[in-house]
Chain A
């Protein structure tokens, strides 16, 4: 079954689905490659040595994929499982925020608010994890579900404001981000929910969650690989099924591509918009719960990395396709886990975020890639069939950035 949004021109021989997928992901792959190259040169220039830059990249890979040299020397599995754990915990969070942005984007809504929804989810998970007592397993699941509900509820507001009052969701979600961050980090976490000081050290953040609410570790105690990672993979697959294999998902995508046509076809677009936004919020909320229950064990003084904003990069580099989102989250999870090891060579640990930001910038110039790629093909018409007019799934640009009116 051909996907409805993969354009196949008449002149072109039908390609295999694999070739389609490769063609569609080419701009993203090239963007990431170009970004990696430019960033390599940036280290080389600022540090004055290309070999140092190469070593920094090697350290980054060791920090994310495992230190295989040390493993073969010592035979210690920790050299592999610890980096894997770090990469997996980061990839899991990025997958959820990325899916959050991607689902909304497919419905024609730009969810800038993943950061706020994630914050709301994280504080919910932290409270449920610390204040409730439930059997192990169930407790953790309740926390994740509670975070999803909180994130979803927080995302209803921009959807309703858009439908009822015509407030553009980009603006409302920006506002809601700062409202959530201000109220949670500058009121709840330092006020009513501040950790009760035990012993001499006063701890920042909320109370530690109970052991029953901690996501179980999968490999060993020395690796932070936890149940959040398979959960993220599952979520990516489930979102794919929902978007591309169910009627509801089809209607959601139809609305994202042409809201007028979808309405004319009898799709209840208002309901679909709210549903997509709630799902997006729930996914971002789960990202928060995974951070709390897998890594931090409490709501820390501040969430630290802007994972919600990163979700925008992950989603768009992954072509807003759930499986692409999973792949790009995995890639940047690995790179970002390796960031800490780059610090050994004097490169700031946030460097992989620069790679990610630049890659998003190059993805934003999607039409440049398409122009460059199709021009190459036109020059050699005998070698390859003419390129489709729109090789990648058409992004709902007009609908997503439909103005503040």
Chain B
């Protein structure tokens, strides 16, 4: 039993960083008032860029390239949504479509249709004290991505709720006109938030291609970006809530994969499809039982027009 839980813990922590980073990115953007359903696309370019860069340079530098690529796609989102007040959902979906087809095109023209060549995976750290403790052993042997992903949500919580910059960012998503009255640029705040969001989504993508696996595969991130959107809704637009939801969804996925490989008999009773649908069903149930208090920022999705009265 302990061994099963240990394996589950280990594979949850392998799978979770991508989802956690992407969720934090989405929280950052949406807290500033900009809907970001382009997370899926930003993860995709991040995963691709990181793997491609890591073919030439050390993998940690490749991760930086992935973050930069995510931020690059986010820059388009920010330009369209903040400067030109475009429909944020349309822009996000457009970026998803561009990233999906664009990376497929680049992958096929540069490498092979299925994926890039293998790269050197990020270094796995063994934690000396834990490596011999039953159960907690599952915490050891991960890459820096995992440990960063476990710490980052707390840092973001402190940033958003304990710093002036965090307060301003949240205000831009609740009442942008009030922020502008204080003489602070709503556009700048939102642009920075969206760029940060893309950087994090790119990091999440990079986690997939450099840490979870050791190459970019053609279907990455296979809907994880949308799952991140589910995670922030589930977590009521807070970093810690999204963190919890992301961990929970990742554990569900680890359980499903673990069952498929070690106990296929169970999947005869509970089909895989049920387990795959579970995060979305739960999010929908949660939304439908919580009467009009989703925790979403008040100005989410509305463009801020400084000249409007």
**A183 proximity list for chain B (CB < 8 A):** 273-274, 277
**B292 proximity list for chain A (CB < 8 A):** 165-166, 405
Q: Which of B97, B104, B287, B303 contacts A171 (CB 8 A)?
A: B287
Proximity bits, A296-337, B CB within 8 Å = 1, else 0:
000000000010011011001000000000000000000000
Interface centre among B97, B108, B109, B271 (most CB of A within 10 A): B97
A46 contacts the other chain (Cβ, under 8 Å)?
A: yes
| B88 nearest in chain A by CB position | A401
B298 touches A175 (CB 8 A): no
Interface centre among B30, B86, B223, B281 (most CB of A within 10 A): B86
**A346 proximity list for chain B (CB < 8 A):** 109
Number of A-B contacts (CB under 8 A): 187
A398 contacts the other chain (Cβ, under 8 Å)?
A: yes
Chain B contact residues, majority secondary structure: helix
Q: B-contacting residues of A (Cβ < 8 Å)?
A: 42, 46-47, 110, 112, 161, 165-168, 170-172, 174-179, 182-188, 190-191, 306, 309-310, 312-313, 316, 346-348, 350-351, 353-354, 356-358, 360-361, 363-368, 395, 397-398, 400-405
Known: A309-B96, A401-B35. A187 touches B230 (CB 8 A): no
A175 touches B301 (CB 8 A): no
- Separation of A368 and B76 alpha carbons in the complex (Å): 13
**A191 proximity list for chain B (CB < 8 A):** 271, 273
B91 touches A395 (CB 8 A): no
**B297 proximity list for chain A (CB < 8 A):** 403-405
A405 touches B94 (CB 8 A): no
- Separation of A171 and B105 alpha carbons in the complex (Å): 29
B84 touches A367 (CB 8 A): yes
- Separation of A47 and B109 alpha carbons in the complex (Å): 8
**A312 proximity list for chain B (CB < 8 A):** 90, 93
**A110 proximity list for chain B (CB < 8 A):** 89
Can you list 25 contacts pairing A with B, beta carbon distance less than 8 Å?
A46-B106, A110-B89, A165-B287, A166-B292, A172-B284, A175-B280, A179-B277, A186-B276, A190-B273, A191-B273, A348-B113, A354-B105, A357-B94, A357-B102, A358-B94, A360-B90, A361-B76, A363-B94, A365-B86, A398-B302, A401-B35, A401-B87, A401-B302, A402-B301, A405-B292
From 127 to 142 in chain B, residues with beta carbon under 8 angstroms from any chain A beta carbon are none
A46-B106, A166-B292 known; 18 other A-B pairs, CB under 8 Å?
Answer: A110-B89, A166-B291, A167-B287, A175-B280, A185-B273, A187-B272, A188-B273, A312-B90, A312-B93, A351-B101, A354-B101, A357-B96, A358-B94, A360-B97, A363-B94, A401-B302, A402-B302, A403-B301
- Separation of A166 and B295 alpha carbons in the complex (Å): 12
B233 contacts the other chain (Cβ, under 8 Å)?
A: yes
B89 touches A360 (CB 8 A): no
| B291 nearest in chain A by CB position | A165
| B79 nearest in chain A by CB position | A365
Minimum Cβ distance to chain A for residue B155 (Å): 24
B294 touches A167 (CB 8 A): yes
| A171 nearest in chain B by CB position | B233
| A354 nearest in chain B by CB position | B101
A186 touches B272 (CB 8 A): yes
Known: A347-B109, A350-B104, A401-B87. A187 touches B97 (CB 8 A): no
